[in-house]
Amino acid sequence: MPSSNPAFRGLSGAGNGQQQYAGWGTPQPQYGAPAQHDPYAAPSPYSATTTRYLTMDDVVVKTGLTFLVTVLAAAATWAIVPDTMAIALLVPALIVGLVLGLVIAFKQIANPAATLAYAAVEGVLVGAISEFYAANWGGNIVTQAVIGTFGVFFGMLVVYKTGAIRVTPKLTRWIVGALFGVLALVLVNLIASFFTPGGLGLRDGGPLAIVFSLVVIGVAAFSLLLDFDMADEAIRRGAPAKFAWYIAFGLLVTVIWLYLEILRLLSYLQSSD
């Protein structure tokens, strides 16, 4: 079944161990005496293949390693870098992470160097932001955000695996549309903040900001379903094993986005108390 996901272009028909032959390379029928069938000429079912296809173990291992690098980088930033210097790391880490993430996403780079480099940069960013929130709202806010993030992650994984919500083309379009809608509102709010204090009120900590933050968390949570479906689709289509690094990258982007938004929401709720 063809997929609209650009990540799977070129995989259709070539995966799952299927072979395709070009028309000019197809053996032509021979006329005259029938050829003798040699049973030993057939490839052995036990012979090693030159291509190793993606498995769920590949996805789990590569994703776990990617998340581990992010956590270690965040912990090192928190433990080693002072509060004042951690804030100074925000802008450089944000710019480097954004550029590297866009390159990986648009070029669909699937290799450990790119994914782990992105994980390390994002770990510095997450560590610096977490330290900032802890300094202003207490260390418990970070713990609560971590618990909330993994709670949403595993909750959506259960929802996906049980089939409670199926990733259909229609649902995919809705989620992608919501992603662009959230991005557009954030940009408009940022531009409006240059002319009006608080902009549209989407990030000022008020009631509207709390509602908007809840909406963003919901969109991020549903985006996890697309990431899970991408992994399953890649396995079904027989993607190469290295594609697990690209899947790990996608999951990391969504989880970090979810964590930062939960952290923001908790700061709103604590400020309103």
State the pLDDT at residue 87. 76
State the pLDDT at residue 79. 85
Summarised one tens digit per residue, pLDDT across range 71-99 is 999 999 988 877 777 778 888 999 999 99
> Is residue 121 domain-resident?
yes
b/e code 9-31 from CB counts within 10 Å (16+ = b) = eebeeebeeeeeeeeeeeeeeee
> Is residue 2 domain-resident?
no
Count structural domains, the chain.
Answer: 1
- Between the alpha carbon of residue 232 and those of residues 8, 83, 158, 225, the distances in Å are 12, 42, 14, 11
Return the structure tokens found at 247.
């899947």
The residues, ordered by sequence, that sit 6+ positions from 7 with a Cβ below 8 Å of its Cβ are: 108, 230, 234, 243, 246
> Is residue 144 domain-resident?
yes
Summarised one tens digit per residue, pLDDT across range 32-78 is 444 454 433 444 433 344 568 899 999 999 999 999 999 999 999 98
> Is residue 11 domain-resident?
no
The answer to whether 259 and 146 have CB atoms below 8 angstroms apart is yes
Mean pLDDT of the region 250-264: 96
State the pLDDT at residue 273. 61
Closest by CA position to 230, among listed 172, 180, 190: 172
> Is residue 23 domain-resident?
no
> Is residue 116 domain-resident?
yes
> Is residue 131 domain-resident?
yes
What residues make up the domain containing 239? 54-272
End-to-end Cα distance, the chain = 52
Helices and strands in the chain, H and E counts: 7, 0
DSSP state of 67: H
> Is residue 15 domain-resident?
no
Summarised one tens digit per residue, pLDDT across range 164-209 is 999 999 999 999 999 999 999 999 998 998 888 878 888 888 899 9
Question: What CA–CA distance (Å, rounded) separates 148 from 261?
Answer: 11
